[in-house]
Amino acid sequence: MPEFPPEPFRIKVVEPIKRTTRAQRERLMREAKYNVFLLRAEDIFIDLLTDSGTSAMSDTQWAALMQGDESYAGARSYFRLKEQIERIFCFKHFVPTHQGRAAENILCSLLIEPGNAVPNNNHFDTTGANVRAVGGQPVDLVIDEAKDPANRHPFKGNIDLGKLERFIEETGTENIPFGMITITNNAGGGQPVSMANIKAVGEMVHRYGIPFFIDACRYAENAIFIKQREAGYADKTPLEIAQEMFSAADGCTMSAKKDALVNIGGFLCMNDDALFERARQALILREGFPTYGGLAGRDLEALARGLVEGLDEDYLTYRLNHTAYLGERLLEIGIPIIEPPGGHAIYVDAGGFLPHIPAERYPGQALAIELYLEGGIRAVELGSVAFAYPDPTTGEIIRPALELVRLALPRRVYTQSHLDFVVETLAAIAARKDSIGGVEIVKEPELLRHFTAEFALMG
Ligand code: P61
């Protein structure tokens, strides 16, 4: 078997992508105010902005769309989805939602009181925002190894159990409505969480009488990491591993736009009967009737099949290899990344790559701009542009530990030769990196500035 085996699928439908010239990209980037979110997608050659909702569906999923039952209540497609969710996630109840953040929104608004705190390895931004929106405080308790990009800990998404116990003792159980863990840990480099850690976190919060929810977006990638890296799981199937992970929890939030291989969809699962009743009522207000919850019948069909395909072992093995291929090739040419490669993305350490650009001149944004100018590639800055904020009392700018650029890999979309092109583009940038200057922000909104801020090159 080669180290990086080929794609376990062949291409039946193609979508052309456009090459542009350097001169065109310079003009387009200038017109987009040096913010890659403001570019038109059709002007991008390889789009690595996100792995969310960008998967290619299979022939089976496309065929399933025709079988969507669009009945308002009790649609056949709902029961097909229910069967798969019960088989894989094993919780007593679920409600479908239009995407992950809607599931988070319902969970947070039903359980969090102002002044509460929620522990997690790292809250993703929508999860943290939903906790804050109802007066709660998101608290990140990932292990310290996660903060060192070169540390090759096999489960860098783990929660630090010592920190968790201290957090519970200091905060008081009455102020912690639930605990969470994000698998894989997107905000921490797409790193997996071990089965031992999921179980230990579940046992600890349960010992204190606190419910435990899993942010399950990339649960299948987490399961195959466990199979490959954790003793005792080599002979288990991804399905068996998934069932065991979820047995440690009381429910989960899911963005089906990731490991369920669909372009839209999500759900919220729980065992608690009373919580389910309240969630159903909240769903009716915000999303729709409980058997469709903000989705069309055809979306439910595609999702039911995507859940099955997303757990296929050949696919998952390829998926991790595909991402690792990009990461290992970048390391070979001296580009620093968060190691080891994550499941859905490679996170380039832009601060380490462009050490002459200080954090206040946004090395991650400078690199994201260069990726587009050099190769028509779109990536996202996850550093001071996205995460720095002024301390509410001193006004001092609090910066994230690392200035990163994420190369997220849509599922079943790009081939290995596309990844080679990404590596070659970064090699060309590396060859002239000392001449790359920083950027400044010339206009920014109050919240989530990375989406709409405008920049200027500093030369
Ligand atoms: C992403 F820049 N992720 O990684 P929804 N939990 C986790 C996620 O990764 C996640 C959600 C919940 C995205 C999309 C995205 O500011 C941004 O279905 C671990 O997108 O509602 C989504 O799931 C939310 C990117 C979302 C962003 C918000 O690219």
| Tens-digit pLDDT profile for residues 438-450 | 999 999 887 778 8
d(CA 261, CA 410): 10
Q: Which atom of ligand 1 is nearest to the CA of 345?
A: 4
Identity of the residue numbered 110? L
Q: Which residues contact 342 (CB under 8 A, 6 or more apart)?
A: 184, 189, 190, 191, 323, 327
| Tens-digit pLDDT profile for residues 10-50 | 999 999 999 999 999 999 999 999 999 999 999 999 999 99
> What average pLDDT is seen over the chain?
96
Ligand 1, atom 25, lies closest to the CA of 50
| Tens-digit pLDDT profile for residues 51-91 | 999 999 999 999 999 999 999 999 999 999 999 999 999 99
Report the separation in Å between the CA atom of 414 and the middle of ligand 1, taken as the mean of its atom positions: 20
Report the separation in Å between the CA atom of 316 and the middle of ligand 1, taken as the mean of its atom positions: 20
Helix 297-309 vs helix 76-89: crossing angle, to nearest 10: 30
* Residue 204 CB burial class (10 angstroms; 0-12, 13-18, ≥19): middle
Report the separation in Å between the CA atom of 83 and the middle of ligand 1, taken as the mean of its atom positions: 26
Residue 64 confidence (pLDDT) = 97
Report the separation in Å between the CA atom of 95 and the middle of ligand 1, taken as the mean of its atom positions: 19
Residue 2 confidence (pLDDT) = 67
H-run or E-run covering 268? strand 266-270
| Tens-digit pLDDT profile for residues 82-115 | 999 999 999 999 999 999 999 999 999 999 999 9
Ligand 1, atom 13, lies closest to the CA of 52
Residue 4 pLDDT > 90, yes or no?
no
Report the separation in Å between the CA atom of 431 and the middle of ligand 1, taken as the mean of its atom positions: 33
| Tens-digit pLDDT profile for residues 383-432 | 999 888 887 789 898 898 899 999 999 999 999 999 999 999 999 999 99
Give 5's pLDDT tier (boundaries 50, 70, 90).
confident
Q: Which atom of ligand 1 is nearest to the CA of 51?
A: 29
Residue 1 pLDDT > 70, yes or no?
no
Residue 77 confidence (pLDDT) = 98
- Choice from 54, 121, 217 to test ligand 1 binding pocket (greatest atom count within 8 A of CB): 217
d(CA 380, CA 140): 22
Residue 243 confidence (pLDDT) = 98
Residue 233 pLDDT > 70, yes or no?
yes
| Tens-digit pLDDT profile for residues 275-328 | 999 999 999 999 999 999 999 999 999 999 999 999 999 999 999 999 999 999
Name the token pair of 113.
């009181």
Mean pLDDT of 321-338: 97
Residue 448 confidence (pLDDT) = 77
Q: Which residues contact 277 (CB under 8 A, 6 or more apart)?
A: none
Mean pLDDT of 154-171: 98
Q: Which atom of ligand 1 is nearest to the CA of 103?
A: 21
Pocket residues for ligand 1 (CB within 6 Å)?
Answer: 50, 52, 99-101, 124-127, 182, 186, 215, 217, 255, 257, 266
Task: List the beta bridge partners of residue 377.
Answer: 46
Report the separation in Å between the CA atom of 21 and the middle of ligand 1, taken as the mean of its atom positions: 31
Weakest-pLDDT range from 145-154, 331-340, 389-398, 433-442: 389-398
Mean pLDDT of 364-368: 98
- Choice from 255, 287, 406 to test ligand 1 binding pocket (greatest atom count within 8 A of CB): 255
Residue 413 confidence (pLDDT) = 97
Mean pLDDT of 266-270: 98
CB 359 within 8 A of CB 335: no
Residue 361 pLDDT > 80, yes or no?
yes
d(CA 333, CA 318): 23
